[in-house]
Amino acid sequence: MNDETPEKVRFGRAQKFRLSPKGSEAVSAYTLMVEKARAGAGRAQFDAAREAWSSPRGLTSEDGLFLVEFGMGERTVSEAARGLEDCASSKEVKAAVDRLLGCGMLEPVPAPAPPPPAQRRYW
């Protein structure tokens, strides 16, 4: 056994994810960065601002897009992929979720408690 390779955790299709407190802070900073970049002079300045936002957090510059999507509420991977279908493939969303879970920006939503079993009636 190799203890250095982490075991990959698999989630079901219905598993929902939400932002962690660390992820919420990153979304706030990303939103502020986008607002400031709009006043800039083009794409190069926007790309530089995204890189400045992502580097200290250990993220890729595209991760802001995924974080904003999950910031709108609890989402499954397929719901997020549908919301981002114009700019990211389903495979890219899955990879981003794995990456963001690994760095603590997203967290899985605990499953709701199952309803109590119905009482059996004997008559």
Residue 3 in domain = no
**Phi, psi for 72 (deg, rounded to 5):** -80, -10
Domain that holds residue 71: 17-108
Q: Is the residue at 116 inside a domain?
A: no
The tokens describing 32, both together, are 């502020």
The C-alpha atoms of residue 105 and residue 73 are separated, in whole angstroms, by: 14
By the 8 A CB rule, do 84 and 66 touch? Answer: yes
- Give a yes or no: residue 46 inside a domain: yes
Residue 64 CB partners (closer than 8 Å, separation 6+): 26, 27, 30, 33, 34, 50, 53, 54
Taking only the tens place, the pLDDT of each residue in 22-36 is: 999 999 999 999 888
17-71: per-residue pLDDT in tens?
Answer: 999 999 999 999 999 998 888 887 788 888 888 999 999 999 998 999 999 999 9
Number of domains forming the structure of the chain: 1
Give pTM, 2 decimals.
Answer: 0.80
Is 6 among the domain residues?
no
